Chain A
């Protein structure tokens, strides 16, 4: 049965789609325009300049790259994000596999506890985390921040992966075990390759947690300027009296682009990855 949409409905749909797209894309476009505008102006009196680049210079980019410790911030963010991703994958995959495949004392209560912790607002744990890191000498240290991020993201990533492992038929691993595989080999050689889409989304999630987070980073690495992450560094450029919008926008663009490239590349995983773990479990 073929139902034909009425032209008026079609037009309304298209208009709504255009509006929604504009609403989503314009902020990014606005930041891009501000990044190329001379001076530190967020807005321009030129109406045309609000929508298209009527003036453009790379001065803000030059200042950010050469006069601000922007490359240090990017380096710190990359380090934190990558180490968070690796640590998260190492722990979450093995934990999720254990929860999915093995029966051990405390398994059920552990899963319930995971859910309970997940419902706890992360910001509330800020002070204890800071105190804990201070006690072990990792306050103002990127490794301390990584530990905090890993602890924070582990719940979701483990649950997500556990859900996905549950969807993989255990018969495959049993068949491998008949052929001589041990539990570790069946984990590495059978389960992990089959869980690639879920691992990809987990990696992306962990990377984003380490890359774009602000609150923990600003508290756990307050100074010096060269040691902070990109988000904190950008925010520190502003003060109570003024915000250097041009620098801010240029920095934002340079932070967005690499993530945008990674997102575009991983989008095929994104389409299904998040829902993969929700099928069962």
Chain B
């Protein structure tokens, strides 16, 4: 008998370890893979505010913080402690993931509590998609969810005779859960009251003490109440009432039965199929749980009361957010676990007589399982090696996109480095000036120009340059615009003596001249008027490079050299269109052509292409020089969208593709190297920024 008991204990331990491992893996996966959810930035911002106030010793600022005060302070305070622990290294991104990790830890703790009670129920909570999602995000659910399970679990262990440690622990957990989020409390309070008065027959005075202890813990941990507890508590509760009747809830328009849908479907698996790759078993768990209602009413009525009161609350309360369903998930899992166990026993009993399943189902041999295991291992090793490779490759890369910043469009045609680290961007939907933050704790700044707020003739800006006087010139799809920080002036093709007004290239020299390249030639601004350069009549001009007295021109037929002082020209034809030209610090002339990277030696070009070098693709769009002698090359795929960045130091090539770096893989259109960073304007993915670091 003792052997079977020890065996049962061992089985339970193994099952619990398995369940906890699954819970950890799924939540860790969710922490990294789930996209940022609606409320996460809000709670994180409050956490940053709390952390900032605590860092300055201003606790009143924490207590009086009015942001999302409708929710108690405990969980936000926990997130702020994460930010404090990160210290000066805290950024939005690392604080975001660290806070998610803390949330996930409490999600796992909830599973552990349930697994101690019932390993099968713990297993069901471990894979429950709603629980995984909302306890792996910077939401308020994880801590109160775990604590309410603890409160009920410990209360169940409470002795009927006299209050013991479990009784007081339950009160502590309930108080702390209340300080985490209010929505859990009405339901759990009903369960506790039922257990106390109907099952355990605990005297009322002990329950009054229980309530007092829970209330004290709640008040202690919800520091937002410290200054004016009753009014602030009332404010919070009335806020929820008003919010539930408010515009936002009405706009979303969930029907009254929406909680049933949340509980009986695995909605997170539909929203995030890459995270919940197993489709989710939420609906199955709920169906199995409901199938055992009658039995549970007889054997464990408190569970039915938990489920019924919880579902009633969810149905009646007008706010129907999916995370609210977490209130009843533990009850569902416990009930489903018991039903599953009974069904399994029923099957086992019949199977031991009939051996039907053993007869019917295939019994694969060890070679089958070994083959499957080898295949899974192969996939796992490849996946892990790729994860390590790409994670290492992405170090130092960041991106500016229209989604993550104020960049007007993800199609960026040109970049211009300004003073004080400014970057001017020419995009499909206007121009933008990016200014770095004034200090590390302040955000970056943006100034946007478009047809609505500036003198730009059209939104599509193809090129940008700053002249010697400090004026900004924008080459657009239809004409040229000059901005002198106060006013705008627009020049049409006719004004400039050109036939086409699509301004593809701009350059300015130290003498104050500005060169505008179009698809029909070049016009030069001499400070008073435009002069057409006759040598380039009808040339399709794509790029300029100004070097001392020389203007290098990249054009359809090849590269031209225009001596500014003498006005003489030289022509170096290329085998394909020249898209950009560059003279490096050592005086070497490079041309970005559609048949590779070309280097001028004497009067001839030497071509680097995919066949004879490390150039990723043969169409070279843009060029820039980094450290002296290192050329950065933007290439585009010939038969597909996208491209790659590469650098060439005269001997070795380094390529930056999506499979070995954090590059977006979009086609590079312009490159600027500054302050140890490579900024790459792309056709479809905004701007890729690569911090050179040791790899410079």
B356 touches A65 (CB 8 A): no
A258 touches B382 (CB 8 A): no
A79 to B360, CA, bound (A): 22
A-side contacts of B274, CB under 8 Å: 69, 72, 226
The one of B279, B371, B390 in contact with A261, judged by C-beta atoms closer than 8 angstroms, is B371
The one of A67, A72, A265, A266 in contact with B659, judged by C-beta atoms closer than 8 angstroms, is A67
B-side contacts of A254, CB under 8 Å: 379
B640 touches A189 (CB 8 A): no
A189 touches B375 (CB 8 A): no
A193 touches B360 (CB 8 A): yes
Verify if B534 is at the interface (C-beta below 8 Å from A): no
B640 touches A72 (CB 8 A): no
A72 to B372, CA, bound (A): 19
B382 touches A62 (CB 8 A): yes
Q: Mark each residue of chain A from 235 to 257: 1 if its CB lies under 8 Å from any CB of chain B, else 0.
A: 00001011000000000001001
A72 touches B390 (CB 8 A): no
B364 touches A66 (CB 8 A): no
A192 touches B386 (CB 8 A): no
Q: Residues of A within 8 Å of B, CB-based: how many? A: 31
A-side contacts of B360, CB under 8 Å: 192-193, 196
A-side contacts of B368, CB under 8 Å: 261, 264-265
B-side contacts of A61, CB under 8 Å: 382, 386
A103 to B345, CA, bound (A): 38
A-side contacts of B387, CB under 8 Å: 66
Verify if A96 is at the interface (C-beta below 8 Å from B): no
A-side contacts of B356, CB under 8 Å: 188-189, 193
B389 touches A62 (CB 8 A): yes
Chain B residue at minimal CB-CB distance from A239: B640
B-side contacts of A257, CB under 8 Å: 375
Q: Mark each residue of chain B from 90 to 130: 1 if its CB lies under 8 Å from any CB of chain A, else 0.
A: 00000000000000000000000000000000000000000
B386 touches A65 (CB 8 A): yes
A59 touches B371 (CB 8 A): no
B-side contacts of A226, CB under 8 Å: 273-274
A193 to B389, CA, bound (A): 51
A200 to B658, CA, bound (A): 44
Verify if B441 is at the interface (C-beta below 8 Å from A): no
A72 touches B639 (CB 8 A): no
A196 to B372, CA, bound (A): 23
Counting chain B residues whose Cβ lies within 8 A of the other chain, the interface size class is 20 to 34
Verify if B385 is at the interface (C-beta below 8 Å from A): yes
Q: Mark each residue of chain B from 282 to 308: 1 if its CB lies under 8 Å from any CB of chain A, else 0.
A: 000000000000000000000000000
The one of A72, A227, A241, A264 in contact with B277, judged by C-beta atoms closer than 8 angstroms, is A72
A70 to chain B, nearest CB (A): 10
Verify if B344 is at the interface (C-beta below 8 Å from A): no
A59 to B379, CA, bound (A): 13
Verify if B359 is at the interface (C-beta below 8 Å from A): yes
B-side contacts of A266, CB under 8 Å: 362
Majority secondary structure of chain A interface residues (helix, strand, loop or mixed): helix
Residues 639 to 667 of chain B near chain A (Cβ within 8 Å): 639-640, 658-659
Known: A63-B659, A193-B356. A261 touches B372 (CB 8 A): yes
A63 to B383, CA, bound (A): 9
Verify if B354 is at the interface (C-beta below 8 Å from A): yes
A261 to B379, CA, bound (A): 15
User: Most chain-B Cβ atoms within 10 A of its Cβ — which of A58, A242, A265?
Assistant: A265
The one of B362, B375, B383 in contact with A66, judged by C-beta atoms closer than 8 angstroms, is B383
B273 touches A227 (CB 8 A): yes
A-side contacts of B277, CB under 8 Å: 71-72, 75
B375 touches A261 (CB 8 A): yes
B382 touches A58 (CB 8 A): yes
A62 touches B385 (CB 8 A): yes
Chain A residue at minimal CB-CB distance from B389: A62
A-side contacts of B362, CB under 8 Å: 200, 265-266
B-side contacts of A59, CB under 8 Å: 659
A242 touches B640 (CB 8 A): yes
B279 touches A79 (CB 8 A): yes
A93 to B390, CA, bound (A): 49
A90 to chain B, nearest CB (A): 13
Chain B residue at minimal CB-CB distance from A257: B375
A19 to chain B, nearest CB (A): 29
B-side contacts of A69, CB under 8 Å: 274
A180 to B354, CA, bound (A): 15
B358 to chain A, nearest CB (A): 11
User: Most chain-B Cβ atoms within 10 A of its Cβ — which of A193, A257, A258, A261?
Assistant: A261
Q: Mark each residue of chain A from 143 to 171: 1 if its CB lies under 8 Å from any CB of chain B, else 0.
A: 00000000000000000000000000000
A254 to B364, CA, bound (A): 21
B-side contacts of A227, CB under 8 Å: 273
Chain A residue at minimal CB-CB distance from B380: A65
The 9 closest A-B pairs by CB, nearest first: A62-B386, A241-B639, A66-B386, A242-B639, A261-B371, A265-B368, A65-B383, A61-B382, A242-B640
Can you list 5 A-B pairs with a CB-CB distance of less than 8 A? A62-B383, A62-B386, A72-B277, A196-B359, A261-B371
Given contacts A193-B359, A200-B362, 8 further A-B contacts (CB under 8 A): A58-B382, A63-B659, A69-B274, A72-B273, A193-B356, A196-B359, A226-B273, A227-B273
